[in-house]
Amino acid sequence: MKFATIIAATLATANAVKQTTMQMGSKTESDGFMQETVTDVTYAAVDLDQIQADIEAWYSNTASPFIADHKNMVYKAALAEMEAEHGALLETCDEGTACRERYIAELREKISLIWKQTLTNFKQTIESAVTETRAEVEDKWIDLQECQTNHPCCSISEIFWMNNIKKVKQVRAEYAGFVMKWF
């Protein structure tokens, strides 16, 4: 039961986070890159601290009231199950009513503690997931940077490229000479 509640709340949190994040941009080109495909990926600036604040607001405004309502539904359903299984409670006089009220108060307090712990665990799980996500991204970022170093776009040697630059400069100079003659 706790796991299902945490999963439902986590999905709701993911939806809240999805609404606050911006999409990453990706651009792939092949024209003018000598049969190489060049991909440029940009990640829109998203403030993780703001996302954490949004999660906190979602937790307070959405998750807590939802869990409170869910707790009450589960409590009422459990009482109904017991009544169906064991029969309805019989009427009582003053002392019997006071005894039941004491046990109901204890029961509500215990149930409140159970659900409060569920909310605390949920919040800690989300905070831990954010921390772990940051750590994983930081670890993989180094690998992502190595991709551009280990697999450069240019498959042409530096010498060949430098010679092409010299040829272009020579052709431009020759062209400038023709333009000057023409004028």
Mean pLDDT on 47-61 = 83
Which of the four pLDDT bands, split at 50, 70 and 90, describes residue 78?
A: very high
The pLDDT of residue 20 is above 60: no
Q: What local confidence, expressed as pLDDT, does residue 110 receive?
A: 95
3-state secondary structure the chain: CHHHHHHHHHHHHHHHHHHHCCCCEEEEECCCCCCCCEEEEECCCCCHHHHHHHHHHHHHHHHHHHHHHHHHHHHHHHHHHHHHHHCCCCCCCHHHHHHHHHHHHHHHHHHHHHHHHHHHHHHHHHHHHHHHHHHHHHHHHHHHHHHHHHCCCCCCCHHHHHHHHHHHHHHHHHHHHHHHHHC
The pLDDT of residue 16 is above 50: no
Mean pLDDT on 134-161 = 82
Q: What local confidence, expressed as pLDDT, does residue 89 receive?
A: 92
Q: What local confidence, expressed as pLDDT, does residue 18 receive?
A: 44
Which of the four pLDDT bands, split at 50, 70 and 90, describes residue 122?
A: confident
Which of the four pLDDT bands, split at 50, 70 and 90, describes residue 83?
A: very high
The pLDDT of residue 7 is above 80: no
Chain mean pLDDT for the chain: 80
